[in-house]
Structure 1
Amino acid sequence: MIRLDPKQVGAARHGDRAALAAVVHSLQRQIYGLAMRMLAHPADAEDATQEILIKIITHLGTLRDDEAAGGWALKVASRHLVGMRKRGRVEAMRMTFRDFAADLESGLAAPDTDQVDDLVTAIAIEEIKVGCTLAMLTCLNRSLRIAYVLGDIFEMSDSEAAEALEISATAYRQRLSRARKEVARFVKSYCGVVSQSAACRCEKRLTAAQANGRITLGAPAFALSAPATDIRDLRRQIRTLEEGRRAAALMRSNTDFPTNVGDLIMAAIK
């Protein structure tokens, strides 16, 4: 759930520019994180975040309850991301889970141990993990995807998520259940972080990812400065969990995605 300071929201609604900047600053990272998980591409997520923040800024005056501003902002963001006419770059590939499985199984090659321990390479391996989990989500349709993101990644309650999506709690639970089953089935069969028997390992994707331009050593696409955790430690941690919780733990292992798109918007507002 997005939480905002009601005093800042009230001041922003009455024209206080500093308060508006504070509200936008509070929102930018949370909305960008949601957009990244829906669109799986930094540039597409930044564009969507900018559009969402502009909608929030221009309609903030219509808000009647400052205490409810966070939930309202989440509704605006969710509605925008589900209803976008244009597909993001990763979405446009229209991958199914079967397509994605075939992609993961191609070009696997074990790197040298010394290479894996190098910081630059470790960041690249983290990028592979992040990119893979984001792309995996795009195999779900948008309605299932956002249900999964809100419920299993952001850990919102059924009632909170249902309110954000403006559907009944029953309908939300049905969507979340279907999304969970599809994601869990896939990672159990193909993700080496989750399953001992799966062939794919993030480090084994390194050579192929470099060859096809998906990663560049020393120039992380997701602006990562360090891995969230060593991939081998993450693998051990996730495999100690109950099977039903492993997929969500994998998705939540991604760090917050940094952005300054809201600050740029405020700088452009005269």
Structure 2
Amino acid sequence: MHNPFTEIVDESNDRELIEQAKNGSRDALERVVLRHQAWIYNIAIRMVFHPQDAEEVTQEVLIKAVTRLSSFQGDSQFRTWLYRITANHVLNMKRRGGESETQTFSSYAAAINGTPDLNLPDPNAIPVDLPLMVEEAKISCTSGMLLCLDRKQRLIFTLGEIFGASDTVGSEIMEMSPDNFRQSLSRARRDLYQFMNNQCGLVNANNPCRCPKKTKGFIDAGHVDPNHLQFVSGHLRRIRDAASDTVRQIDDIVDLQYATLFREHPFLEPKDQIQWLRQTLEQRDFSTTLHLN
């Protein structure tokens, strides 16, 4: 799978498709968008939490990118150009989804601790297997933790820790120096890891919180819906597989444990990618912008 965050990226295919798109090929435009759409979506979902809101954010980013594609002259890497648009959009967009209510580590801990420890639900009473249900609760809870970081921290953590982008790649996208990117990532790690070390049983066995014990409480509170799983399915492709060629060097074994937990999250695919793209191209006058037939 094409991974745009590798240190050295071969953009020959992207650039060829861009030129074809500028010369009127709608097929080339579809193909270049589809090479990046899922990556943008996986950034968006960590910014807003809910898949439907992430789909909306992804659409907004891609509309901006497609509209401005004719201005891309190849002076920089296409990766840098596209993901700068993505970064600027998610840092400045309206609040929605999981961001609708401000979340802090303190309030998040209170919410988790206020969820009662219960036995798992009767397997005959829910439409999915119990291990899948527990996995959904785990991914939902750890994804929610990211919302306790401010937007810039969350984005830098997503790029640098979850996707494994190097300081050079991350700093180019964020338009900051590699040293500042590394320092910002270190602060995001410190804040998140300190919380998890004090709260989460996944990373510190001395903590009483356990995903199976919280699953039914999350269901009862409406945070997890057995009839509509947001993050897991019968077949999972994980971040560590999609971004297998971008793994940051981490010396601290404890930090490595946390990083592995987030790279075990699913790599999610937006629904109906091609259908949405074609409808968007038909509804908006991109033919004028890109001179498409």
TM-score, with structure 1 as normaliser:
0.87
* 1:177-227 Cα shifts (integer Å, max 9, x gaps): 110101111111111111111111111111111111122224212362346
Q: Which has more helix, going by share of residues? A: 1
**Conservation of the 8 A alpha-carbon contact between 1:110 and 1:203:** yes
Identity %: 30
Structure 1 portions without partners, runs of 5+: 230-240
Partners of 1:151 and 1:73 in 2: CA distance: 17
Aligned to 1:256: 267
Match of 1:244 among 252, 255, 261: 255
Q: Which residue of 2 aligns with 1:103?
A: 111
* 2:142 maps to 1:133: yes
Contact 1:9 1:69 (8 Å CA) reproduced? no
2:44, 2:57 within 8 Å by CA — same for their partners in 1?
yes
Say if 1:111 and 1:262 are closer, same or farther in 2 by CA, change over 3 A. Answer: closer
Alignment of 1:186 with 2:195, yes or no, is yes
Give TM-score, length-normalised by structure 2. 0.81
User: Distance between the aligned counterparts of 1:223 and 1:66, measured in 2?
Assistant: 40
> Counterparts in 2 of 1:22-171, with a 5 A limit?
22-65=31-74, 68-84=77-93, 86-106=94-114, 107-111=116-120, 120-171=129-180
CA RMSD of aligned residues (A): 2.3
Residue pair 1:153, 1:248 contacting (<8 A) in 2 also: yes
Q: Does the CA-based 8 Å contact 1:222-1:257 persist in structure 2?
A: yes
Post-superposition shift, 1:89? Answer: 2.2
Query: Are residue 211 (structure 1) and residue 220 (structure 2) matched?
Result: yes
Residue 87 of structure 1, CA deviation: 1.0
Shift of 1:58: 0.6
Q: Is the 8 A contact 1:24 1:262 kept in 2?
A: no
- State the partner residue of 1:234: none
Query: Structure 1: how far apart are the matches of 2:189 and 2:22?
Result: 39
Q: Retained in 2: the 8 A contact 1:42–1:221? A: yes
Mean Cα deviation higher: 6-15 or 131-140 = 6-15
Structure 2 distance, partners of 1:222, 1:196, is 25
Aligned to 1:268: 280
Encode CA deviations 1:92-112: one digit per residue, 9 max, x unaligned. 221110111111112122437
Correspondent of 2:211 among 198, 202, 205 = 202
**Contact preservation (8 Å) 2:232, 2:266:** no
Which whole-Å CA distance do the structure 1 matches of 2:201 and 2:166 have between them? 29
Rounded Cα–Cα distance in structure 2 between residues aligned with 1:133 and 1:26: 27
Q: When the two structures are aligned, how many residues end up with a matched partner?
A: 256
Aligned equivalents of 1:228 and 1:58: distance in 2? 31
- List alignment gaps of at least 5 residues for structure 2: 239-251, 283-293
Q: Deviating runs (4+, > 3 A) in structure 1?
A: 112-115, 226-229
Alpha-carbon distance in 1 for matches of 2:270, 2:205: 35
210-219 or 184-193, larger mean C-alpha shift: 210-219
How big is the shift at 1:113? 10
User: Does structure 2 retain, via aligned residues, the 8 Å contact 1:71–1:164?
Assistant: yes
**Distance change in 2, residues 1:198/1:227 (3 Å):** farther
Amino acid at match of 1:105: N
Q: CA deviation at 1:70?
A: 2.0
**Structure 1 CA distance for aligned equivalents of residues 86 and 18 of structure 2:** 17
